[in-house]
Amino acid sequence: MKPVKSIVTACLIIPAIAILAFGPRSDQDLPKDRVIVDYWEKWTADEEAQMREIVNEFNDTVGKDKHIYVRYVSTSSVNQKTLVATAAGVPPDIAGMWDGNLVQFAELNALEPLDELAAEYGITSATYKPVYWNACNYHGHLYALISTPSTIALHYNTKIFADNADKLRAVGLDPTRAPATIDELDRCAKALDVVDEKGHIIRSGYLPMEPGWYVTSTHLWFGGEIWNPATEKFTFTDPKVVAAYAWLQSYSKRLGKDAVSEFKSGTGNFDSPQNPFLIGSVVMEQQGPWMANYILNLKPSMDGLADSKGDDFNLPLADRLKRLQWAAAPFPSAVPGLKDVTVANFDTFVIPRGAKHPKEAFEFMAYVNRQDVMEKLCKMHSKNSPLAKVSRDFLEHHKNPYIQVFEDLANSPNAHSVPQIPIMPEVGTEMNQMIQTLVLHTDVEPLTALQNCQDVLQKKYDKFMEIQKAREAAGVE
């Protein structure tokens, strides 16, 4: 029995030792003479691969010269993971997060201020478009640089517009251009709606809840604000805000809440050939510049192409625009004279507090913010540029033939970034609930829902501030 026992033990122990000694090493390919910068990013699929291309280029050029190697990791729930890693004292050197988390993290001292590093690299307010620069700053400190930005525009199906030209003309609209006011948008949507005899929506001209990603910003197109930073009070009951959400509810009232709900639940995924804009079941919608990428990949026929590989971005822009079956234009405003209103979002580069190599991390961030690199990345992601200077090549040979629209929107004085409220995630949650209430319960008065939302959020904000003051007084910060 004893020899058998020894043989079995040896069979288990020897391979284990061999694996430990000669087995795979996670750091095997990392260059030994370089500082390793850990970069966590949220992107997956194409966007992840495109950023990897930028990272590889950095590692082969600037990184090689300055002895820096960026280790790029694509991860889900990046903000939660960064937060936990930061709390544990082992954060990444760079985290790619959303703009909505920036103020929340900055308020918690979870981010390194970047003022000195930015000044060293010559990155100033003149580098970025104002809306993006202002959003990266909080309480007088720079907390983030931008990886890619976006603005939001109205996308519309020009083929359906042309096919229904008579209907549009009958309601006093020009079928060759996008609606220019909210009133025109409403008339256009109504004219293009197709509803069967039982009230089921077959095609929707426009539906605020499709895709519904920006419904919490509806008030912007009505000239309203939900937050007054001077008084630190929520202003949901401002008549302009009330008018905005009453307008949003009007679509459920007109089409029927059940029909809207049924239609919405039957729509396909955004990133699929069943995307309602691509299949024409929604004629107009709010989207960012990346939509051009999805159209090209999922329905090249809307680009007038046989397949997604057929587009030649070097063709003259006018020729490319001619064959499109879709177009983008500024989303119309309800207030006369209020033009080019948009939501300016962005993906951020932040350095979490306690990062081991902030200077080397910033070297990479500054590299991505070079005009040539930023334009390459934004072209690949099909987004506008956050930088103040934009090359002619970027505008003329971009994947998105309408990139000029998004650039103009980003430069607009009416471009708005995420409000700088430390409890922003809770604001988003409450607003989405309020909007769902209005859409699903058409008998609820918008003012009542907004007042309720305001009360809940003001209470949460006041409590948050009360705790911060108590912490300050007790010296627990």
* Number of neighbouring beta carbons within 10 Å of residue 89: 8
Min dist. Cβ of residue 335 to another protein (A): 31
Alpha-carbon gap, residue 392 to 368, rounded angstroms? 19
Lookup: tokens for 46: 């194409």
- Confirm or reject binding of residue 108 to another protein (CB under 8 A): yes
Contact 47, 147 (CB under 8 A): no
Choose which of 440, 444, 451, 458 interacts with another protein (CB under 8 A): 440
- Confirm or reject binding of residue 426 to another protein (CB under 8 A): yes
Nearer to another protein, 86 or 342 (CB): 86
- Confirm or reject binding of residue 264 to another protein (CB under 8 A): yes
Q: Are strands 201-206 and 282-287 parallel, antiparallel or unpaired?
A: parallel
For 362, list phi and psi in degrees, rounded to 5.
Answer: -70, -30
In the block, residue with structure tokens 């006369």: 336
| x-marked contacts with another protein along 16-55 as a string, rule CB under 8 A | ----------------------------------------
Strands (E), 130-171: 137-138, 141-142, 145-151, 153-157
Which range touches another protein (CB under 8 A), out of 40-48, 285-293, 334-342, 432-440? 432-440
Alpha-carbon gap, residue 6 to 322, rounded angstroms? 79
Min dist. Cβ of residue 40 to another protein (A): 16
- Confirm or reject binding of residue 110 to another protein (CB under 8 A): yes
Which range touches another protein (CB under 8 A), out of 132-140, 213-221, 266-274, 369-377? 266-274
Give the H/E segment covering residue 402. none
* Number of neighbouring beta carbons within 10 Å of residue 206: 21
Nearer to another protein, 6 or 77 (CB): 77
Contact 342, 418 (CB under 8 A): no
Nearer to another protein, 327 or 423 (CB): 423
Per CB under 8 A, which of residues 346..385 are in contact with another protein? Answer: 353
Alpha-carbon gap, residue 8 to 408, rounded angstroms? 73
- Confirm or reject binding of residue 84 to another protein (CB under 8 A): yes
- Confirm or reject binding of residue 199 to another protein (CB under 8 A): yes
For 75, list phi and psi in degrees, rounded to 5.
Answer: -145, 145
Per CB under 8 A, which of residues 238..257 are in contact with another protein? Answer: 256-257
Rg (C-alpha) for the chain, rounded Å, is 26
| x-marked contacts with another protein along 276-295 as a string, rule CB under 8 A | --------------------
Alpha-carbon gap, residue 78 to 42, rounded angstroms? 6
Of 340, 318, 323, the residue nearest 331 (C-alpha): 340
Lookup: tokens for 104: 């929340």
Which range touches another protein (CB under 8 A), out of 108-116, 182-190, 231-239, 291-299? 108-116
- Confirm or reject binding of residue 198 to another protein (CB under 8 A): yes
Cβ contacts of 49 within 8 Å, gap of 6 or more:
none
Per CB under 8 A, which of residues 50..79 are in contact with another protein? Answer: 77
At 189, the amino acid letter reads: A
- Confirm or reject binding of residue 169 to another protein (CB under 8 A): no
Nearer to another protein, 15 or 266 (CB): 266
- Confirm or reject binding of residue 321 to another protein (CB under 8 A): no
Interface ranges with another protein (CB under 8 A): 77, 80, 83-84, 86-87, 104-105, 108-110, 198-200, 256-258, 261-262, 264-268, 274, 353, 423, 425-426, 429, 432-433, 436-437, 440, 442, 467, 470-471, 474, 476-477
